[in-house]
């Protein structure tokens, strides 16, 4: 890949004086440099896509998730124990928020002329935590080096947030439905009932509850074996 990164621009510059009779050397050179820049940008984007962490193939099966990612079970189990939050709920929120994609972000809004515009929020990573909420988590827990694209950090963040919600909003920690509503709307938003103005959100919360229940049934089969892994 690296050997071919600049091949297009080199080829173009080698032929910069072969334009038509109306194309002087300066025009040809400018055209060449433009194509070279586009090629370089494309190569960088391709490189970034190749180095990003690919999501698991089967995100609907908790046992398959952990079998394919050896360190995820240790991180998720530690978060579950630390915050007293059911492991299936932690996974179900990640399933809904990012589909286990480390670099997940909200799609960009449409800008002028149909060009890509800004993103609607700063949500990023497995947990889709916002910038401000992530900074609050790091300050509260002392995890100054936590990263949103690190699974262990993200699942610990969710555990922390669910624990805070349980305290602030009085939601039982095994209530996946209401915890997702609060996760999406924020603790103050949940208290104000802002989710009631979003007809689509309760259905999404029901899907999180159902996924949590599926994960619970699956983990009943494989968690004992996973717990024995080094």
Query: What would the pLDDT profile of 147-201 be if each residue is shown by its tens digit?
Result: 999 999 999 999 999 999 999 999 999 999 999 999 999 999 999 999 999 999 9
Average pLDDT (190-218) is 98
Residue 51 pLDDT > 70, yes or no? no
- Looking at residue 116, its pLDDT comes to 82
Q: Which of 51, 76, 92 is the last residue of a domain?
A: 51
What pLDDT, in 10s, does the model give residues 121-159? 999 999 999 999 999 999 999 999 999 999 999 999 999
CA–CA separation, 114 and 111 (whole Å): 5
For residues 98 and 179, state if they share a domain.
Answer: yes
**What is the CA angle 88-130-97, rounded to 5?**
35
- Give the torsion sign (CA, 201, 202, 208, 210): negative
State pTM to two decimals: 0.76
Question: Per-residue pLDDT tens for 2-48?
Answer: 333 333 433 343 333 434 444 444 444 344 443 444 344 444 444 44
DSSP reduced 3-state for 129 = strand
Domain assignment present for 70: yes
Q: Do 114 and 223 belong to one domain?
A: yes
* 57 within domain boundaries: no
Q: Judge if 70 and 23 occupy the same domain.
A: no
Are residue 134 and residue 69 in the same domain, yes or no?
yes
Are 128 and 223 found together in one domain?
yes
- pLDDT band, very low/low/confident/very high, at 119 (cuts 50, 70, 90): confident
Average pLDDT estimate for 76-88: 99
Give yes or no: residues 73 and 146 share one domain. Answer: yes
Same domain, 104 and 214: yes
142 alpha carbon, distance to own chain's centre: 22
On whether residue 41 sits in a domain, the answer given is: yes
Provide DSSP, 85-108: --HHHHHHHHHHHHTT-TT--PPP
User: Is 160 in contact with 137 (CB distance < 8 Å)?
Assistant: yes
Indicate if 34 and 74 belong to the same structural domain. Answer: no
- Whether residues 102 and 122 share a domain: the answer is yes
Q: According to DSSP H, which parts of 115-200 are helical?
A: 131-141, 151-169, 176-185, 187-192
Whether residues 23 and 99 fall in one domain: no
Q: Would residue 69 count as lying in a domain?
A: yes
pLDDT at 105: 95
Q: What is the pLDDT of residue 206?
A: 99
Distance in angstroms (rounded) separating the CA atoms of residues 55 and 42:
23
Quick one: 82 and 134 in the same domain? yes
Q: Quote the domain boundaries for residue 11.
A: 2-51
Domain for residue 193, yes or no? yes
Q: How many domains does the chain have?
A: 2
What values do phi and psi take at 116, rounded to 5?
-60, 130
Q: Is the per-residue pLDDT at 76 higher than 70?
A: yes
Do residues 171 and 91 lie in contact, with contact meaning Cβ atoms separated by under 8 Å? no
Q: Please indicate, yes or no, if residue 56 is contained in any of the structural domains.
A: no
* pLDDT at residue 53 in the model: 62
**What is the Cα gyration radius of the chain?**
24
- Residue 203 inside a domain? The answer is yes
Burial class (CB in 10 A: 0-12, 13-18, 19+), 163: middle
Query: For tokens 């180095």, what's the residue?
Result: 51
Stated length of the chain: 230
Does 215 map to a domain? yes
Q: 123 with 205, same domain? A: yes
The CATH number for 205's domain is: 1.10.530.10
The partner residues of 110 in beta bridges, in order of sequence, read 116
52 DSSP 8-state letter: S
């Amino acid at each position: 890949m690296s050997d071919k990164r600049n091949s297009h621009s080199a080829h173009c510059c080698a032929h910069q004086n072969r334009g038509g009779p109306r194309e002087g050397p300066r025009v040809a050179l400018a055209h060449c440099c433009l194509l070279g820049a586009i090629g370089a940008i494309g190569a960088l984007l391709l490189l970034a896509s190749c180095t990003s962490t690919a999501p698991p193939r089967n995100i609907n099966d908790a046992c398959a998730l952990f079998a394919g990612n050896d360190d995820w079970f240790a991180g998720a189990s530690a978060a579950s124990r630390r915050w007293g939050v059911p492991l299936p709920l932690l996974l179900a929120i990640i399933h809904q928020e990012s589909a286990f994609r480390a670099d997940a972000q909200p799609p960009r809004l449409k800008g002028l002329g149909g060009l890509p515009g800004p993103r609607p929020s700063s949500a990023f990573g497995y947990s889709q935590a916002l910038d401000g909420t992530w900074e609050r988590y790091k300050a509260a827990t002392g995890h100054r080096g936590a990263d949103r694209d690190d699974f262990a950090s993200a699942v610990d963040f969710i555990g922390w947030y669910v624990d805070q919600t349980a305290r602030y909003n009085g939601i039982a920690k095994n209530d996946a439905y209401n915890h997702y509503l609060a996760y999406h709307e924020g603790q103050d938003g949940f208290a104000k009932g802002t989710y009631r103005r979003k007809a689509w959100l309760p259905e999404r919360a029901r899907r999180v509850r159902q996924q949590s229940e599926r994960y619970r049934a699956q983990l009943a089969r494989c968690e004992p074996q996973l717990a024995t892994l080094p």
